[in-house]
Chains A and B, each alone.
Chain A
Amino acid sequence: MSVPPDADEPVVLRIRRCADSQSGSTVEEYSVPRRRGWSVLDALQYVKDRIDPTLSFRGSCRMGICGSCGVEVDGRPVLACSTFVRDAVVPVSIEPMRHFPVERDLIVGLDDALGSLGELQTYLQPADSRGPDDPPRLQTPAQLAAYKSHAMCINCMLCYSACPQYGLDDFLGPGALALAQRYNLDSRDAGRAARLERAGAEDGVWRCTVVGTCSEVCPADVRPATAIQQLKLASVVHAARTLATTRASPDDAPPKPVHPSVAERRPLSRLWWTSAPSYRRYMLREASAFFTAAYAVFLLYVAVVLYAGEDAAMDARVEQATAVLTGPGALLLHAVALPFLALHAFSWMRIAPMLLRTRHPRVWTVAMLSVPVLLVLLVIAGVSA
């Protein structure tokens, strides 16, 4: 039930509290006035001002630009200042961002995620140094447009909270990788090689499995999922280019040490993927792999029966293949596998344009999807003939 504006009945906030990182947490309820224009941050400030001054949370600009006030409202990572009480489900559940150690109440430790920024050298590294009297480095509007969306990051860390891979394992994280791509795409920068080396490590781009929730929750449209897919492609090209030169190189510097605060994170439940529709869709998509494997084996089996049947005449091979293809097993396999592979095709064509650095990813998705759709129509026409 959402909150009707300015009614008499107060709104109940259910806030997860804890005294420090070593203490257990409790959920406390607070009643705040029902005001149409209030953000969650306004409601938290009301609680702190009028009810419980010990409530701790971060907040600064109140306008979605500083990135300080990240919390989870009704299980979704959001900026408290940009999320309105009127749009929330009552009672409004407010928790600290997941995947981070809790320092106190709604305040989390961000040191590990901030460390990723340093690891990826997310700062401009021009090829030449210039002083204050030298002319500025100019960029055309097109050069700016190439990286601008990724540059809008406000380091709110909502993407880290939304990313299950960051919760599951050591991972540099979507925000830092998006910023790395921002600098890689900047025409003034010369630090691409070093960033690609770091991004291509075990805890870099290869941890990403395109869950996509990082881009969903980003308040600044940075599209970190898109940036990471481009980084993967760039990492492949970089690995191929440096193949000859790095074979004889000594072992590299050790990977980024895991920040001690990571050990204090709330552990991710094994059923984490049941907690949000996006996560459930992701797991359904990943489960299509079983049917991909099953169908590949089936295709090979049918091809072998039809072509390489043991010295049997063509008629016998055709009879055997027909029996396989019209049997109940084949019907079951096709009926169950088809929706999964359709989901795989649809999601693949939504993700593939991310590699292209295009401003029109949906156009590319439609164009790419037209191929399997056309083939389906051709097959139906051929089988019906």
Chain B
Amino acid sequence: MSRAKSSRRHAFAWLLFGAGGTLTALLFPALLVGGLVLSLSDPSVARETVVRIASFLEAPWVRWSVVVLVTFALWHAAHRIGLLLHDLRLPVVRRVLAPLLYALAAASAPIAAVLLH
């Protein structure tokens, strides 16, 4: 691969990684806190909140936001796990796992879109 192509490949992967990292840094703490509170609640109390979430999901922009968030989060995780395997000096595992993780992350977009359309 030419240096220019390699550079573009890395740049593109990093851009998506950055987008995923920013989205998850902004949104996941709040979602996790909300989810933690729900998981500690009595089901009869939690039900009201779940109903509200369900009606929220009726709006297409909310569902598209979930698709975008999930896709970028998975890409971010795939990229980071690949680098982690490199840091742990597991090149063979990385060579097998990293493309698979990237493929799963890329596939999550159409899958999520179909499931939530």
How far is it, in angstroms, between the C-alpha of A331 and the C-alpha of B36 when the chains are bound? 6
How far is it, in angstroms, between the C-alpha of A164 and the C-alpha of B86 when the chains are bound? 11
A242 cross-chain contacts in B, Cβ below 8 A = 4
Interface contact A337-B32, CB-CB below 8 Å: yes
How far is it, in angstroms, between the C-alpha of A325 and the C-alpha of B52 when the chains are bound? 14
How far is it, in angstroms, between the C-alpha of A352 and the C-alpha of B21 when the chains are bound? 10
SS of A interface (majority): helix
Instruction: Number of B interface residues at 8 Å Cβ cutoff, please give it.
Output: 64
How far is it, in angstroms, between the C-alpha of A333 and the C-alpha of B35 when the chains are bound? 9
Which 3 A-B pairs rank lowest in CB-CB distance, beginning with the nearest? Answer: A200-B7, A289-B80, A375-B30
Enumerate chain B interface residues (CB-CB to A < 8 A): 2-4, 6-8, 10-12, 14-15, 20-22, 24-43, 46-47, 49-51, 53-54, 57-58, 63, 66, 69-70, 73-74, 76-78, 80-81, 83-84, 86-89, 108, 112, 115-116
Interface contact A252-B2, CB-CB below 8 Å: yes
Q: Does A123 contact B (CB under 8 A)?
A: no
Q: How far is the CB of A351 from chain B (nearest CB, A)?
A: 9
Name 5 extra pairs, CB < 8 A, besides A304-B116, A338-B32.
A268-B89, A293-B74, A334-B36, A375-B29, A379-B31
Among B2, B22, B50, the residue within 8 A (CB) of A306 is B50
Q: How far is the CB of A208 from chain B (nearest CB, A)?
A: 10
Q: Does A51 contact B (CB under 8 A)?
A: no
Interface contact B28-A341, CB-CB below 8 Å: yes
Enumerate chain A interface residues (CB-CB to B < 8 A): 164, 168-169, 197, 200-202, 204, 206, 209, 232, 235-236, 239-240, 242-243, 246, 249-253, 255, 268, 270, 273, 283, 286-290, 292-293, 295-297, 299-300, 303-304, 306-308, 314, 317-319, 321-323, 325-327, 330-331, 333-335, 337-338, 341-342, 344-345, 348-349, 352, 371-372, 375-376, 378-380, 382-384
Interface contact B6-A201, CB-CB below 8 Å: yes
Interface contact A349-B25, CB-CB below 8 Å: yes
Among B3, B7, B37, B87, the residue within 8 A (CB) of A273 is B87
Interface contact A380-B33, CB-CB below 8 Å: yes
Interface contact B39-A321, CB-CB below 8 Å: no
Interface contact A292-B33, CB-CB below 8 Å: no
Among A273, A306, A331, A338, the residue within 8 A (CB) of B53 is A306
Interface contact A348-B22, CB-CB below 8 Å: yes
Interface contact B32-A308, CB-CB below 8 Å: no
Interface contact A249-B115, CB-CB below 8 Å: no
Q: A251-B2, A331-B39 are in contact. Are A295 and B14 (CB under 8 A)?
A: no
Interface contact B89-A270, CB-CB below 8 Å: yes
Interface contact A235-B7, CB-CB below 8 Å: yes
How far is it, in angstroms, between the C-alpha of A318 and the C-alpha of B115 when the chains are bound? 17
Interface contact A338-B22, CB-CB below 8 Å: no
A168 cross-chain contacts in B, Cβ below 8 A = 86-87, 89
Q: How many residue pairs between the two chains, A and B, have CB atoms under 8 Å in the bound complex? A: 213
B11 cross-chain contacts in A, Cβ below 8 A = 200, 232, 235-236, 239-240
Interface contact B73-A206, CB-CB below 8 Å: no
A240 cross-chain contacts in B, Cβ below 8 A = 11
Interface contact A209-B83, CB-CB below 8 Å: yes
Among B29, B42, B57, the residue within 8 A (CB) of A303 is B57
Query: Closest residue to A327 on the B side, CB-wise?
Result: B39
Interface contact A379-B33, CB-CB below 8 Å: yes
B32 cross-chain contacts in A, Cβ below 8 A = 295, 334, 337-338, 341
How far is it, in angstroms, between the C-alpha of A236 and the C-alpha of B10 when the chains are bound? 9
How far is it, in angstroms, between the C-alpha of A292 and the C-alpha of B73 when the chains are bound? 6
How far is it, in angstroms, between the C-alpha of A172 and the C-alpha of B76 when the chains are bound? 24
Interface centre among B29, B83, B116 (most CB of A within 10 A): B29
B24 cross-chain contacts in A, Cβ below 8 A = 292, 296, 341, 344-345
How far is it, in angstroms, between the C-alpha of A164 and the C-alpha of B77 when the chains are bound? 21
How far is it, in angstroms, between the C-alpha of A268 and the C-alpha of B88 when the chains are bound? 10
Interface centre among B32, B51, B81 (most CB of A within 10 A): B32
Interface contact B2-A250, CB-CB below 8 Å: yes
Q: A236-B15, A348-B22 are in contact. Are A383 and B2 (CB under 8 A)?
A: no
Interface contact A197-B39, CB-CB below 8 Å: no
Among A286, A338, A348, the residue within 8 A (CB) of B87 is A286
Interface contact B54-A289, CB-CB below 8 Å: no
Query: Closest residue to B31 on the A side, CB-wise?
Result: A299
Q: A169-B86, A325-B46 are in contact. Are A348 and B25 (CB under 8 A)?
A: yes
How far is it, in angstroms, between the C-alpha of A355 and the C-alpha of B39 when the chains are bound? 38
How far is it, in angstroms, between the C-alpha of A384 and the C-alpha of B49 when the chains are bound? 9
Among A255, A287, A326, the residue within 8 A (CB) of B84 is A287
Interface contact A303-B33, CB-CB below 8 Å: no
B87 cross-chain contacts in A, Cβ below 8 A = 164, 168, 209, 273, 283, 286
